[in-house]
Structure 1
Amino acid sequence: MSVFNKAVLFVCFFLFTITVFAQKAKEPSNSFYNVKTFGAKGDGQQLDNTAINKAIDACAKAGGGTVYLPAGTYLSGSIHLKSNINLMLDAGAVILGAKAESHVYDPSEPFPDTAYQDGGHTYFHNSLIWGENLTNVSITGRGKIDGGGLTSLDNEHLGDPTGGSIGTGDKAIAIKLSNNILIRDVTIFHGGHFAILLTGCDLVTMDNLTIDTNRDGIDIDCCANTIVSNCRVNSPHDDAICPKSSYALNKPFITENLIITNCQVSGFVEGTLLNGKRIPAKAGWSNGRIKFGTESNGGFRNCVVSNCTFRNCNGLALEEADGGIMDNIIVSNLTMIDVSHYPIYVTLGKRNRGPKGTTKMGTVRNIYISNVSVTGADSLSGIQITGTPGYPIENVKLQNITIQYNGGGTKEQGLKPFPELEKGYPEPFLLGPNPAYGLFARHINGLQLDNISFTTIKKEERRQLFAAMLMA
C-alpha cells in the first residue's frame, strides 16, 4: 500500500472515529433521566409530579443516577425520593407546590402509637418531597423549591386529626430513617411547617442552602453525624435551624455529632431575604434563631455551633425539657444584631413529655460558649441560664462575650420575684421581664465567667447580674 493510500485510510478512520464519538455524545447517559422525557411540561399549569415520579422510578430501577429538571416551573403534588437518586434542579427550574384543594399530596401514614410529639413531627408522607428508609439520596442544583400551597399549620389545626389525609401538605422536604443524604445549593421559598425535616437520619450534609420561609427552616430530629454549613435561613415566624430529639421514632433517640457552621439566620418578612429588601418582621413566639429543642426526649451530645450570624431574630437557645441529656455543646464566634427576647438562653425544664413512668428528669452539662458579640439586644431578658429546683445545670463556661442591650428596665422589674420554669414551655417571654438585664443564673453548679461585658443604650434600673444557688 502506497504512502498516499495509507494517509487516506488514516484520515477516513479518524473521521469515522470522530463521528462515532459525536453520536455517542448525543446519546443520553443511562444514569441521566430528564423528567421531560417522561411527560413533564414545566409550564406551571400541568401537574408534573406523576412524570417526575416516573423518572425517579426508572432511574432507581436502573440502579440509580440523576433525575434532571431543566429550567421551567413544575407544578407538583407529592414527589417520592428513592435510594441512589440525585434529584437535580437546574438553574431556572422551580418545583411549585400545588394548592391544597388539588388534593395531590399523599395522605399521612398511620401512627398507631401515642404521639408525644407535635403533628408536624409525626407524619411525613403529606409532603411535597419525601422519602423513607433510603440510602444515598441527594437534592442538588441551583433551582428552587417553592412550597406554593403548602400549609404552615399542623394539619390537626385544619380539622384533620390524622395529620394530613385531607390532601394538604405541610413540608417541602421530609426524609425519615435514611442515611447518606446530601441537600446542596437549592433555594426553598415558603416551605410550609418545615422547609426541611430530617428524622432518624445518619450521615447528612446540608450545604449552601438559601431558605426564605414562613415557619421552621431546617429541623434535624433524632439524627447523627450531620453537617449544616454555609446556609442562609430566614424564618420570621418560627425557628431557622432547629436540632430536636422528639419521640417520633417511638423511643428516645439522641441527636449527636452535629456541626452547624458558617450560617446566617434571620427574622425578616418572608420573601424579603430573597428580594434583598430585608424588612424586619415583628418578633412573635419565636423567629429566626438557632434553637436546640424544645422536643428533647433523647437529647443532644457532641454538638458544635460556630461562625454564625443572627439578624433581627431571637438569640441562641439550648433547651432540654423532655428528659434527655444535653452534654458537650460547644458554641463559638457568633455575631447578633437586633436580637428579640434574649441573646443566649440555656435551660433545663421538666415538661417531660413522653410515656409515663419511663420519662425521667433530663440533664444539662458541659456547655461552652465563647466569642459572642451582640448589639441591639432586647430589654426583656439578658443571658438566662436556669436549671430546675433539685436538678442544676452543671459546668457552664461563658468567655469573651460583649452585649449591648437596649435597656430601659425599671426598678420594679428588678425587684419582682421571677417564676420558675418547672413544667412550663421553655421560652423567656412567657416568664416576663427578667430581674437582671445582663445575666440571670439559677440552679447551676459550676459557672465560669471570663471577659464578659454588658452595656445599655437607655438607662437601666435592674441589676446587671443575678446568680443564685451556684452550688447543687
Structure 2
Amino acid sequence: MGRGDARGAGDKAIALKLCRNVTLRDFSILNGGHFGILATGVDNLTIDNLKIDTNRDGIDIDACRNVRISNTSVNSPNDDAIVLKASYALGSARPVEALTIVNCLVSGYDIGSLLDGTYKRTVTRAPDRDGPTGRIKIGTETDGDFRNITISNVVFDRSRGLALEAVDGAHIEDIAISNITMRDVSNAPLFIRLGSRQRAPEGAAIGAIRRVSISNLVVYDADPRYASIISGIPGHDVEDVKLSGIRILYRGGLTLDQVAKQPAGIVNTFFFRGQGGIPPREPYATPEREKEYPEPSMFGLLPAYGFFIRHARAIELSSVDVGFMKEDRRPAFVLDDVKGIDFDHVKAQKASGVPSLVMTNVEDLSLDHCPPLADTRLDKVAHKEM
C-alpha cells in the first residue's frame, strides 16, 4: 500500500470506525503515517499475515472486541508496533476484550529495512530519546477496561519491552502472556504500571491491574538503566501477577552511586515534566510520579538491575533467572511496599559485596530454593538487605 504523508496530523493508512466482521490479510504497508492501521470500536476483527514497516504506530486497536492479530511483522522504530487502547474517541469508555496476538514479530529496525530485508540498525534513538520503540503495549489511553487478552509466540527484536499501563482509570485484568523472546531491548523488558494520570472525565476512579500471568520469557541484551518494573502508586497496588520461566540478561555496568547522582549523560528526562532534569537522590528513594506519562525512563536510574517492584501485592516469581553481561553493582531485586510475594527457584547474579535483595515495608515474603539465599519466611519487615 501507499506511503503516509508526514505533513498530515494524525494521518493513517487504514482507519476503521464502528465496523463489524472485518478481515485484513496478506498485504504490506510502508510509511503508514501516524497510524498504519487504526481500528476504533471494531468488533470481530482479524488481522493476518501483514508486513508493516512504518514511521509511527503500526497497529492501534482502540475499544475493540473479539480481535485476532496473527502472523504479522511490524517494524516501527519511532513508536509502538502493536498498541491496545481504550480511549474516549467514541464519546464513552468502551473495553478492549477477547483479543489475541500470536505468531508475530515486532521490531525497531531502520524504517524500510524490514520490507527490503536489510534489517538495518543505524538509527539508535526514537524521538523521545530512548532507543527504538517497536513494542507491544497496553496503553497509554486507558479510559475503558482491558480483559481476556492473550499474547503468545512473539519475537521482540531491537525494540522496547512489553508494557501494560493503566493510568486513566482502566482495569487491566485476566491477561496471559507466554513464549516471548526479546533481543537488544532498549528499555524495561517488562513494564507494568498503575498510575493516576486520569486523562478521563472528572471523577473517574483510579484503575487496577490484576490477574496477569507471564511465562516463558527469554531476554538477551537489555538496557541496564531499566530493570523490569511492576509499580502501582500509594494506596493502589498492582495485584496478582505471576511470573514464571523467565530469563533476562542485562548489559549491566551501573552502580548505586550512579543511581544516587542520576547523571545527565545517562538519564533520559524526556518524560520527566519537572524543570532542571532529575536531581540527585538517596539511591533507594525512587520518586513516585504517579501522574506522569508512563514510561520506564520516568523514574530515572533505578536501584535494582533485575526487578523493581513497588506498591504491589500477591506477586509470584517462579523459575526466574536474572544476570548481567558486565558487572552491575546494584541489587537484583528491590521491593518497596509489597504485600505477599513468593520467590521460588529464583536465581540472580550478583557482584561481590552487593545484596541480592533489598526490601522496604514488605509483608508476607517467602524465599524457596533461591541460592545463595536461605529459605526464608518474613511476616513483616521495615527494611532488610539479603
Shorter chain as normaliser: what TM range?
A: 0.7 to 0.9
**Per-residue CA distance 1:283-341 (angstroms, 9 max, x = gap):** 32361000000001002100000000000010000011110110001000000000001
- CA–CA distance in structure 2, aligned partners of residues 421 and 212 of structure 1: 34
- CA–CA distance in structure 2, aligned partners of residues 462 and 339 of structure 1: 19
Q: Secondary structure at the match of 1:262?
A: strand
- CA–CA distance in structure 2, aligned partners of residues 300 and 276 of structure 1: 35
- CA–CA distance in structure 1, aligned partners of residues 145 and 22 of structure 2: 22
Could you tell me which residue of structure 2 aligns to residue 278 of structure 1?
Answer: 119
- CA–CA distance in structure 2, aligned partners of residues 345 and 253 of structure 1: 24
Structure with more helix by fraction: 1
Opposite residue 302 of structure 2, the aligned amino acid is N
Deviation at 1:462, TM superposition (A): 0.9
- CA–CA distance in structure 2, aligned partners of residues 470 and 321 of structure 1: 20
Q: Secondary structure at the match of 1:436?
A: coil
Could you tell me which residue of structure 1 aligns to residue 86 of structure 2?
Answer: 245
**Per-residue CA distance 1:100-157 (angstroms, 9 max, x = gap):** xxxxxxxxxxxxxxxxxxxxxxxxxxxxxxxxxxxxxxxxxxxxx1224354744xxx
Q: Secondary structure at the match of 2:286?
A: coil
TM-score by length of 1: 0.65
Could you tell me which residue of structure 2 aligns to residue 142 of structure 1?
Answer: none
- CA–CA distance in structure 2, aligned partners of residues 177 and 195 of structure 1: 18
Q: How does 1:450-465 map to 2 (within 5 A)?
A: 450-465=318-333
Could you tell me which residue of structure 2 aligns to residue 330 of structure 1?
Answer: 176
Deviation at 1:356, TM superposition (A): 1.1
Q: How does 1:259-270 map to 2 (within 5 A)?
A: 259-270=100-111
Structure 1 gaps, min length 5: 1-144, 155-169
Whether the 8 Å contact between 1:150 and 1:191 is mirrored in structure 2 is no
- CA–CA distance in structure 2, aligned partners of residues 283 and 323 of structure 1: 31
Pick from 41, 45, 58: which aligns with 1:204? 45
Q: Secondary structure at the match of 1:463?
A: coil
In structure 2, the CA distance between the partners of 1:380 and 1:249, relative to structure 1 (3 Å rule), is same
- CA–CA distance in structure 2, aligned partners of residues 411 and 321 of structure 1: 29
Deviation at 1:386, TM superposition (A): 0.2
- CA–CA distance in structure 1, aligned partners of residues 135 and 7 of structure 2: 21
- Aligned CA RMSD, in angstroms, stands at 1.3
Deviation at 1:452, TM superposition (A): 0.5
Opposite residue 352 of structure 1, the aligned amino acid is Q
Pick from 403, 408, 415: which aligns with 2:253? 408
Whether the 8 Å contact between 1:151 and 1:193 is mirrored in structure 2 is no
Q: Does 1:360 align with 2:205?
A: yes
Q: Secondary structure at the match of 2:169?
A: coil
**What is the percent sequence identity of the aligned residues?**
46
Q: Does 1:227 align with 2:227?
A: no
Pick from 277, 282, 302: which aligns with 2:148? 302
Opposite residue 206 of structure 1, the aligned amino acid is I
Q: How does 1:51-450 map to 2 (within 5 A)?
A: 145-151=1-7, 153-154=9-10, 170-280=11-121, 281-284=123-126, 285=128, 287-357=133-203, 359-412=204-257, 413=259, 415-450=283-318
- CA–CA distance in structure 2, aligned partners of residues 195 and 437 of structure 1: 35
**Per-residue CA distance 1:426-451 (angstroms, 9 max, x = gap):** 00113211110100100001000001
TM-score by length of 2: 0.79
Opposite residue 354 of structure 1, the aligned amino acid is A
- The structure whose RCO (Cα within 8 Å, separation 6+) is larger is 2
Structure 2 gaps, min length 5: 261-282, 341-386
**What number of residue pairs does the alignment pair up?**
312
Structure with more strand by fraction: 2
- CA–CA distance in structure 2, aligned partners of residues 360 and 430 of structure 1: 22
Higher Cα radius of gyration: 1
In structure 2, the CA distance between the partners of 1:152 and 1:390, relative to structure 1 (3 Å rule), is farther
